Amino acid sequence: MKPAPALAEGFPDLSGMRIAREPHWFRWISAALIVLVLAAIVRAFANGQIEWSYVSRFLTVKVILEGIVNTMVMAVLAMMLGIFLGIVVAIMRLSPNPVLKSVAAGYTWLFRGTPLILQLLLWFNLALVFPTIGIPGLWSARAVDVMTPFLAALLGLGINQGAYTSEVMRAGMLSVDIGQYEAAQAIGMGRLRALRRIVLPQAMRVVIPPLGNEFIGMVKATSLASVIQYPELLHNAENIYYANSRVIELLIVAGLWYLLVVSILTPLQMLLERRFARGTLRLAR
């Protein structure tokens, strides 16, 4: 073997030297300015017309706690309905059947195209259109008795959510490689089984971050159900301030609860993401 050629002169040895720390003057100045502005805002609120004792008193009062429970119950149920509808509609949208396809597209168009609050009011006032509802000859009831605030809120929020979720689900399914469908077909699977066993589990990985987003949106969207008398957090807070006129204090109470719930949801989402990351290198190592 030939010896390696001699290296050229004039390039000093740098191996003992460290890279010096930069002073970052601008970071220090901007941080100081921001702290000043924040302090001014906090001071303004502390000295403003807010009775903070009311905030702490009403934060854990029974009606408020019931409100947050109702909010969460509604958010979870409506989201489940939304995800179910979203999956069904996404599958219909990707089906070769033109009838299913256009029904799915029409559903998304209708429920995404109108305001959520309008849909809630329509469901709640369904009795004006159909005084009685039921199955002819078997069962019937007055619509006002059936369409309670709970049911109207669930249908309004869930069906609206389904329209958005279907697009998220469709994106997830499209993200799965076509070769996965083919491999599933090659071992004899039908379209629906391939979707359920092979495509959807892989789509979930892509779909969970946007779905987490949607669920956080849903928690807050339940506050719209206050207009149809569903006793969720905001509705109950309003009821209290109608009586004692502590409007800002109770709005702050509600706001703190929404913030708390959303803060808890974020780490939960990360746990779920891990669950569906099975087989990806990041976790496999």
Residues contributing to the site for other proteins (CB under 8 A) = 177, 179-180, 182-191, 193, 197-198, 201-202, 205, 276, 278-281, 284
- Report whether 211 contacts 49 (CB < 8 A): no
Measured from the CB atom, the residue of 24 and 282 that comes closer to other proteins is 282
Phi/psi-derived region of residue 232, left when phi > 0, alpha when psi is between -120 and 50, beta in every other case? beta
Measured from the CB atom, the residue of 43 and 193 that comes closer to other proteins is 193
| SS3 call for 167 | helix
Measured from the CB atom, the residue of 10 and 98 that comes closer to other proteins is 98
Whole-number minimum distance, CB 278 to other proteins, in Å? 5
CA distance linking residue 231 with residue 239, whole number of Å: 9
| SS3 call for 27 | helix
Whole-number minimum distance, CB 166 to other proteins, in Å? 22
Measured from the CB atom, the residue of 60 and 175 that comes closer to other proteins is 175
Residue 15 phi, psi (nearest 5): -65, -25
Measured from the CB atom, the residue of 206 and 234 that comes closer to other proteins is 206
Whole-number minimum distance, CB 169 to other proteins, in Å? 17
Whole-number minimum distance, CB 171 to other proteins, in Å? 18
- Report whether 230 contacts 70 (CB < 8 A): yes
Whole-number minimum distance, CB 197 to other proteins, in Å? 6
Count Cβ atoms below 10 Å from residue 175 Cβ, excluding itself.
13
